[in-house]
Amino acid sequence: MNSLAARRRHPAAIVVILMLGLLATGGLYVLLSPKTAQAAVATADDVNQGKKLFLANCATCHGLKAQGTNDAPSLVGVGAASVDFQVGTGRMPLAGPNVQAHQSPKLKYSESEIRDLAAYIASLGPGPAIPEESELTGGNQAKGGELFRVNCAMCHNFTGAGGALTRGKFAPALDDVSGKHIYEAMVTGPQSMPVFNNTNIDKQGKADIIAYLQGLDENKNPGGITLGRIGPVSEGLFAWTFGIGLLIGFAVWLGRKAA
């Protein structure tokens, strides 16, 4: 008993106990952590494959070390989310010199290649990461509508229909855009769009905005040739402007003929 008590009082005993506790905590975290979080970690092979793709297809404009050139900006520190958005929406590689990159349904790279490119760019400097599925769901449409009207409607229209900006630029329509790409656009600020970090709009707020836009996609137009997705306003405008104008003209013509 005296020998066991002496060991317990040994100065190294508390260090051993702390190390065992840390190891146990770390092991439980790895076992119980969500699989999505584990899958999001890029491997060294992903980074190497992404570097090969970058040197073969992107370095001409962005530079051999992604430092940027006169033709394209630096990609150091833009994060994986920026690459996933730009390449995943077909905006990059750029089809040709233009004021603004246009979305294209034809993607040059597969999903795995986009992940590799994103992993390589992320390895060059800290930046926004590709969001997990849990960050894109659970939003409140009503709150999202309020946030969207305050922060986004002045450019994208309150229904997400898009709109023209200065010098040939434009805010694209947001219908049928995936929640992941909406989130990535908010945290990276592509084109003329400002960056909405967690200080401006927190993660829950971003999920709310995504829910609002997805709700708009699910709702059908009230009918007719819509103006801002609020119903057949254009037909009424046409009737009042041209129809009544035609009637007035016809009445004036009859009055002159009778005179």
Percent of the chain with pLDDT over 70: 79
Which element (helix H / strand E) includes 38? helix 35-39
Residues 146 and 91 grouped into a single domain: no
Asked whether residue 11 is assigned to any structural domain, the reply reads no
Structural domain includes residue 10: no
pLDDT of residue 241: 80
Confidence class of residue 150 from pLDDT cuts 50, 70 and 90?
very high
Does residue 17 or residue 145 have the better pLDDT? 145
What is the rounded distance in angstroms from the CA atom of residue 166 to the CA atom of residue 232?
A: 29
75 & 151 share domain: no
CB atoms near residue 113 (< 10 Å): 16
Residue 249 is assigned to a structural domain of this protein: no
pLDDT at 220: 67
Domain end residue (candidates: 60, 93, 124): 124
At residue 125 the predicted structure's pLDDT band, cuts being 50, 70 and 90, is very high
Q: Are 169 and 191 in contact (CB under 8 A)?
A: yes
- Domain of 99 in residue numbering reads as 44-124
Per-residue pLDDT tens over the stretch 59-74? 999 999 999 999 899 9
DSSP 92-119: -S-SS--SSPPP-S--SS-HHHHHHHHH
* pLDDT surpasses 70 at 3: no
- In a 13 Å sphere around the CA of 83, the CA atoms on its Cβ side amount to 32
Label residue 178 left, alpha or beta by phi (over 0 means left) and psi (-120 to 50 means alpha): beta
Whole-structure pTM value: 0.72
Count: domains in the chain: 2
Give yes or no: residues 70 and 91 share one domain: yes
User: Within this chain, do residues 142 and 92 fall inside the same structural domain, yes or no?
Assistant: no
Residue 22 lies in a domain: no
What is the CATH number for 120? 1.10.760.10
Q: Which of 166, 186, 157, 171 is nearest to 102 (CA)?
A: 171
Average pLDDT over residues 43-63: 94
- Asked if residue 33 has pLDDT above 50, the reply is no
Q: Which pLDDT tens digit goes with each residue over 217-235?
A: 887 666 655 555 655 666 6
- Using 50, 70 and 90 to split pLDDT, how confident is the model at 148? very high
pLDDT, mean over the chain:
84
How does pLDDT run across 194-212, given as a tens digit for each residue?
A: 999 999 999 999 999 999 9
d(CA 71, CA 67): 11
Residue 106 within any structural domain of the chain = yes
- Kind and range of the H or E element at 24? helix 11-32
- The percentage of residues in the chain with a pLDDT greater than 90, rounded to a whole number, is 55
pLDDT (0 to 100) of residue 36: 36
Q: Is residue 244 part of a domain?
A: no
**Gyration radius of the chain over CA positions:** 28
4 pLDDT higher than 90: no
Average pLDDT estimate for 39-65 = 89
pLDDT at 218: 85
pLDDT recorded at residue 35? 39
